[in-house]
Amino acid sequence: LADVAAHQAKEDGRGVYRFAGHEKNQVAQERLMLGSALRDALAKGLLNLHYQPQVETMTGGLYGVEALSRWHHPKLGNIYPSRFIAVAEETGQIEAIGRWSLQEACQQMVKWDKAGMHVPTVSVNLSAVHFRNRALPEFIANLLAHHNLTPDRLTVEITESVMMDGSGDTEDVLHAIRKLEVGLSMDDFGTGYSSLSRLTRLPLSEIKIDRSFINDFEHDANAQAVTMAVIGIGSRLGLTVVTEGVETVQQHRLLEKLHCDVMQGYLFAKPLPPAELENWFRTGQERGSFITPAAGKQG
């Protein structure tokens, strides 16, 4: 119901929201409220990016960081992307958020470069709607040129839902982005509907195994078998395999055994504001590894 209402509101455009008859319920109202608060937050620059490090399993080196949107509302407090990204998609604001996060992430990379902190690549999450826009590759190319960043410094994360709309435009846009030599990562891999044959057709550079697979990893032989198989397929396809949501030393050990290339999760660091990431980076640099002693010790 909320989806119908929000869809209607979106189609109406120009900030005039019309609802089909009596279908105006609390959920829809909350979404509308959040939608206009979000518009306000975007205009006032109240969205932030936090960055979560990704570490190389074998070397303990920094592979990159993932940029994750954060919204601190003066009255409602912290609003998480699980809540506001859907609203942004329904109220037609997701493209603006995507452009903003690409810009913000590139700007941050330049700042870190100047400060002598080398982050190899920053990953930005984009929603399905972005890839229906044929102007996206050029937007990205211009952005990189403007910031004087080589394309390998940026990775775009897509989800399997991107492929679900089946439009030819989407595949073209993905190929054009990859042609720029920007990284292209399949996020939350294993949770969607994409077939393996489609996976081989996409110009990916990376897959991220969804954290649901490693949640009960330690006790679930089936989850382990699937993860092992996915890591195997990914590496044979020449893709970098990242596992997200790594929280325990046991998971780390197992991923090491399975030759997973890159790990990301609370075990290493939560998504952090830039200043805190800088501290985390300096500490790791002094230690000579970005894998924490607790994670590196046992086993």
Is 125 a residue that touches Mg ion (CB under 5 A)?
Answer: yes
Structure tokens at 109: 């990379």
Q: Which of 104, 160, 188, 261 binds ligand C2E (CB under 6 A)?
A: 188
Shortest Cβ 238–ligand C2E spacing (Å): 23
C-alpha 253/C-alpha 271 separation (Å) is 22
Say whether residue 56 binds Mg ion (CB under 5 A): no
Contact between 187 and Mg ion per CB under 5 A: yes
Closer residue to ligand C2E in complex, CB, 265/284: 265
Among 245, 263, 280, 291, binds ligand C2E (CB under 6 A): 245
227 binds Mg ion (CB under 5 A): no
Region 131-160 residues binding Mg ion, contact defined as CB under 5 A? 157
Integer-rounded Cα Rg, in Å, for the chain is 20
| Residue among 31, 25, 26 nearest 10 (CA) | 31
Residue 199 contacts ligand C2E per CB under 6 A: no
Q: Of ligand C2E, Mg ion, none, which one sits near residue 195, judging by CB under 5 to 8 A according to partner kind?
A: none
For 35, how many CA atoms within 13 A lie in the half-sphere containing its CB?
Answer: 26
Of the CA atoms within 13 Å of residue 149, those in its CB half-sphere come to 32
| Residue among 137, 64, 61, 52 nearest 102 (CA) | 137
Q: 113 touches which of ligand C2E, Mg ion, none (CB within 5 to 8 A by kind)?
A: none
Query: What residues numbered 79-118 form the site for ligand C2E, per CB under 6 A?
Result: 80-82, 85, 97, 101
Closest to 90 measured CA to CA, from 161, 159, 22, 38: 38
Cα–Cα distance for residue pair 20/67, rounded to 1 Å:
37
- The whole-angstrom separation of Cα 92 and Cα 227 is 36
Compute the least distance from the CB of residue 19 to ligand C2E, in Å. Answer: 26
By CB under 6 A, name the binding residues for ligand C2E: 52, 68-69, 80-82, 85, 97, 101, 125-127, 157, 187-188, 244-247, 265-266, 271
